[in-house]
Structure 1
Amino acid sequence: MSRFPGRHEFGQNFLVDPVVIAGISRLVAATDGPILEIGPGDGALTQPLSSLGRPITAVEIDPRRAKRLAEHLPSHVTVLNEDILFHRLRGEVGAVVGNVPFHITTATLRWLLAAPRWRTAVLLVQWEVARRRAGIGGASLLTARVWPWFDFTVHSRVSKRAFRPVPTVDGGLLVVHRRPTPLVTDRDAYQRFVHTVFTGRGYGLREILTRAAGVPTPVAREWLRTHRVPPTALPRDLTAEQWASLWSTARRR
């Protein structure tokens, strides 16, 4: 149990379920290289991860907890009293792991997906956020913008009773892998295209593509038919591979 109660301004809901902790540890153990931990809190994950013997950088915004962790962890664990949103990765990182404070989930994901030199992320976030990021039930704009470079998978659902204090919603274990070979090479142009399509007006993709994105009607119709996408489907319904193919088609035209 935590020595200090969670602080509201830090969004602290501490992970206490040993089964969930062990599951996250196994996922990280399957990677290699240095580890970056987001918001270690009282070290529920840091302690078992330290047994791997790999270099760990634990970034904790709460100065009390950062100080206490630094005093009780082995020398290959470095504790930094920093805001993760302003942290700069140093060198290669094999795995990013963390119980992400729910109120900064989107900001943390934006920071992470813009950061270089990490390969795998194992993140505990809100259940619905995990589903949306993985494209289950419809992908978000954020996911579609970065899908060609990252693969998102929901590993499991985590009961809200696994946390103290107990939050109002369940968590979800989201695993993100950087693709060794991106599906798209021109990041800026692709992301502008995705934003145009996601925010464009029209009754379904066929109208959006022709009205907002400037794709000729015969080309849009043929792409939808080839990929078995209904004309009334929405941008959120596409997969990573379909977005890459759609961009390639639109760019040629």
Structure 2
Amino acid sequence: MARPTRVSRALSQNFLADPRAAARLADLAVSDRDALLLEVGAGKGALTAHLVPRCRRLLAYEIDERLVPALTTRFSDTPQVRVVAGDFLQARPPRTPFSVVGNVPFSRTSAIVDWCLRAPALTDATLLTQLEYARKRTGEYGSWTLLTVLSWPRYEWRLVGRVGRYSFRPVPRVDAGIIRIERRRTPLIAPAALPSWRRLVELGFSGVGGSLHASLCREHRRHRVDVAFRRAGLDRGVLVGEVPPEPWLRIYEVLFS
């Protein structure tokens, strides 16, 4: 009998052990059966097995070389699955539309999300992350992060589910959240305007002045900023993290019209 593979702390491994949670994640991830699907960190194949009947093309990436042989053997008779040995973050994004799904190592979440957002052909990503990360990125705490606001014209962020920590082996210290990032079919801002959007948002998050209003007044006339705040329905003393993405869009319309 083969000895079980020891968990790698360096790779931040927490294997999904709850079949119901795996099936739910697969359901949320696959919206187009014919689309190319990339799985991050296939591990022992717990999620992969639930993805197989839901998709026709699946690239299952696994960085831990100890797990690859068994993973390859498990899906050797499944033609739509190709196991890829190596680091997902080093992979070249496909040129055709594709989706990403995975039980993401908590320590690598930010890097994997950045990879997804940089991929020109990505349509959506459904990721099982640390619950706190998922809540912060989707405004569940009543506050919004720089990354979410910056990417909002092109991507919608949603918290679509929660998975308790006892669904993993070994059991992590915290629960997990299922975050879904979807590329908008029509961007809320024209691509040519994205650099000015970035400048505005980064200025607002600079923290200079103690409030969003004060930060924006560093580069824009106070009268125009006042008009923008009224259009957005914001108080002049509001802190930058308290402002959802939609009011940011109203501010942008006034200051860059």
TM-score range, shorter chain: over 0.9
Residue 53 (structure 1) shift: 4.4
Which one-letter code corresponds to 1:240 in the other structure? P
Residue 245 of structure 1: how far off its partner (Å) = 2.6
Please tell me whether residue 39 in structure 1 is matched to residue 41 in structure 2.
Answer: yes
Partner of 1:16: 17
Structure 1: runs of 5 or more not aligned: none
Deviates more, 1:200-209 or 1:172-181: 200-209
The corresponding residue for 1:163 is 168
Whether the 8 Å CA contact 1:183–1:241 is kept in 2: the answer is: no
The C-alpha deviation readout for 1:96-137, integer Å capped at 9, x for no partner, is: 100110001111111111112121211000111101111222
Question: Which residue in the other structure is 2:5 paired with?
Answer: 4
Structure 2 residue 208 is the aligned partner of structure 1 residue 207: no
Separation of aligned partners in 2, 1:37 and 1:130: 18
1:219 counterpart = 2:224: yes
The answer for unaligned runs of 5 or more in structure 2 is: none
Give yes or no for contact 1:31–1:95 (8 Å, CA) kept in 2. Answer: no
CA distance in 1, matches of 2:182, 2:81: 24
1:250 and 1:227 mapped to 2: Cα distance?
A: 12
5 Å-filtered alignment, 1:82-121, equals: 82-121=86-125
Question: What amino acid sits opposite 2:23 in the alignment?
Answer: A
CA contact (8 A) 1:35 1:93 kept: no
Contact preservation (8 Å) 2:30, 2:55: no
State whether residues 229 and 251 of structure 2, in contact with CA within 8 Å, keep that contact through their aligned partners in structure 1. Answer: no
Partner of 2:177, secondary structure, is: strand
Pairs aligned (count): 249
**Cα distance per residue 1:154-211 (max 9 Å; x no partner):** 0122111111111111110001110111112222232122112101411322212112
Partner of 2:150: 145
Equivalent residue, structure 1, for 2:79: 75
**How far does the alpha carbon of each residue in 1:57-102 deviate from its partner, in whole angstroms, 9 at most, with x for none?**
0111111212221122112111111211111122324421001100
- Report the counterpart of residue 249 of structure 1 in structure 2: 254
Structure 1 counterpart SS, 2:102: strand
Structure 2 residue aligned with 1:122: 126
- Name the amino acid aligned to 2:128: L
| Counterpart residue type for residue 126 of structure 2 | V
Q: Note if contact 1:13-1:163 (Cα within 8 Å) is conserved in structure 2.
A: yes
Query: SS at the partner of 2:26?
Result: helix
Alpha-carbon distance change, 11 to 144 in structure 1, aligned in 2, over 3 angstroms: same
Counterpart in the other structure of 1:192:
199
Identity %: 34
Is 1:176 matched up with 2:170?
Answer: no
